[in-house]
Amino acid sequence: MNETPALTQDHWIAGPTGKLFARSWAYGDPAGRAPIVLLHDSLGCVALWGTFAQTLARATNRRVIAYDRAGFGASDARADRPGAQFVRDEAVRFFPALCEHLAIDRFIAFGHSVGGGMAIECAALHAAQCAALVSEAAQTFVEDLTRAGIRAAQAQFRDPAQFARLARYHGDKTQWVLDAWIETWLSPEFADWSLDAVLPRVACPTLAIHGSLDEYGTRVHPERIAAYVSGPARAAIMEGVRHVPHREQEAQVAAMVAEFLLPLAD
C-alpha cells in the first residue's frame, strides 16, 4: 500500500537582501506543535536535503520547514560576500524574516554543518521561542581538519563535472556559493571564530549528532556543544558515518530526533 504523501507548500519570503525560498512538509495535523526549521550547510539548499525533510516530518509528526539562505538554491542572488560574522548574521537578520512570514512563534532549530552553528545562534538569540536544538555535523570553531577538508573540496571543484553537479542546484550563483564557503572559512579574519561565548546561552534541550568519520570536524565539536550549553544535552556519535548523517543514515537520524523530541510539550 502506498504511503500518504506529505502536504507540501512553497513559500517566498521578503528577506534583507531579496526573496528567500522555503518549503514545508507535514503529515496529518501537526498544528499546535513547534515546527522543525532546517538550516542547510555551506553548499546546501532545500533540494539537497533530499527526502530527509519528509522522513523527519513523518517520524516526528511535526511540520518541517527548510529554506534556501540568501544567495543559495532558489533564493535571490546576493551581491555582497558573507563577512566573518555570517553565522550569527543568519540568526540576527534572516531567520527572523522566515519566522515572521510563516507566523512561527515557537520552533525547533535543526542545522547541518555550518547550519548547525547557525541553529545554535538561533537557539541562543531567540531562546524564548526555541523549544529544542539539533545540531548535525556542526563546527564550533575553526579546526585544522575543517580547513583541510575545505582545501580538498576546493581542488575537487576545479573539475568541471563537479562544478556542473553543484550548478544543478544553484545555477548562475554557483561560483558565489563556492567562494562564500571557501574564501570565508580560509580567511585570516575567520580563523578565531568560535561559538564558545554563544553555547552557554542555549537553554533548551539539545542533541548534537556527529559522524565518527566526519571529514570536516572531529567529535570534539558535539562534545563541546553538549558540555557548554546550559540546558539538558547529549552528544550522539554515529559510528562509521561521515559528514552527512541525514543522507547516509536517513531513517536512523529521523528516529533519533523523534525520540529526542518526544518529551516536549509543544
Is there a contact between 42 and 113 (Cβ–Cβ < 8 Å)?
Answer: yes
Residue 2 domain-assigned? no
Is there a contact between 136 and 110 (Cβ–Cβ < 8 Å)?
Answer: yes
Residue 90 domain-assigned? yes
Instruction: Count CA atoms within 13 Å of residue 194 on its CB side.
Output: 11
Residue 1 domain-assigned? no
Domain of residue 192, CATH code? 3.40.50.1820
Grid cell 580563523 — which residue?
191
Domain span at residue 253 reads 7-261
The pLDDT tens digits for 175-231 are 999 999 999 999 999 999 999 999 999 999 999 999 999 999 999 999 999 999 999
Instruction: Count CA atoms within 13 Å of residue 167 on its CB side.
Output: 11
Position 236 scores a pLDDT of: 98
Q: How many domains does the chain have?
A: 1
SS3 for 78?
coil
- Residue 204 amino acid letter: C
Residue 266 domain-assigned? no
Position 4 scores a pLDDT of: 75
The pLDDT tens digits for 49-81 are 999 999 999 999 999 999 999 999 999 999 898
The pLDDT tens digits for 18-47 are 999 999 999 977 778 999 999 999 999 999
The pLDDT tens digits for 110-152 are 999 999 999 999 999 999 999 999 999 999 999 999 999 999 9
State the pLDDT confidence band at 1, using cuts at 50, 70 and 90: very low
Q: How many Å is the maximal CA-CA distance in the chain? A: 56
pTM above 0.85, yes or no: yes
Listing from the earlier edge strand, what are the strands of the sheet with 206-211?
7-15, 18-26, 64-67, 36-39, 107-112, 130-136, 206-211, 233-238
